[in-house]
Amino acid sequence: MLDLGVVAQNLLEQLSAELVNRGIVLPDMVYVAPGAEVAFDCEQLTVNMTRIISNMQTQDTPYPTMSALMISSAEFFATLVRCVPTLSDQGVPPSPADSAAAASLIMNDAFAMRRSLEKIKSACLIAPRNVPQTVGELRTIGPSGGFAASSIMYTVMLAEDWWADKPAARGVRAVAR
């Protein structure tokens, strides 16, 4: 049976390793988060599943489709949250230099996340080569409450028999370094 929690954990481990390889310093909090909305409590790297959809990303429809093969996909988000400067206790806004430094960090995280997931996908480290997968849109979030983030979508088809040769989907994890 395909274990989506294991798939999410493997995605997190692969992404973490690739980000470190690219020189990104990861926060202390790195975990698979439950639910579609992840609270920004601290600097963190999370992977969460937002939904299971019919067909692949952007093709979901509320109407039945004629198909001999019913296809579903899981939509995951990887989010890297960073602290950003905020108003001081006296109501003074952060300096332009501090804001620019925070913006640069978020932008560098975003680029590294995009390239990391593209590499993970092309190397088939999450799903076998025959399983359709998509690295989706990356968005920045915030700032809000002293945090800003980069969040990217990863969608993978859920055809269990196609995963037969991928041990990670059945509970065995291996991180390529």
Give, for all 177 residues of the chain, the pLDDT tens digit.
578 898 999 999 999 999 999 999 999 999 999 888 888 989 999 999 999 887 654 554 444 444 555 678 899 999 999 999 998 888 899 999 999 999 999 999 999 999 999 999 999 999 888 888 899 999 999 888 899 999 999 998 886 655 555 555 544 444 444
Residue 104, amino acid: S
Burial string for 2-25 (b: 16+ CB within 10 Å, else e) reads bebebbbbbbbbbbbbbbeeeebe
Beta strands in 21-132 (DSSP E): 29-32, 44-54, 72-83
CATH of the domain spanning 4-56+71-167: 3.30.70
What is the value of pTM for the model shown? 0.82
Q: What is the pLDDT of residue 54?
A: 74
Q: What is the pLDDT of residue 163?
A: 56
Q: Please list the residues that pair with 157 across neighbouring strands.
A: 73
Q: What is the pLDDT of residue 167?
A: 53
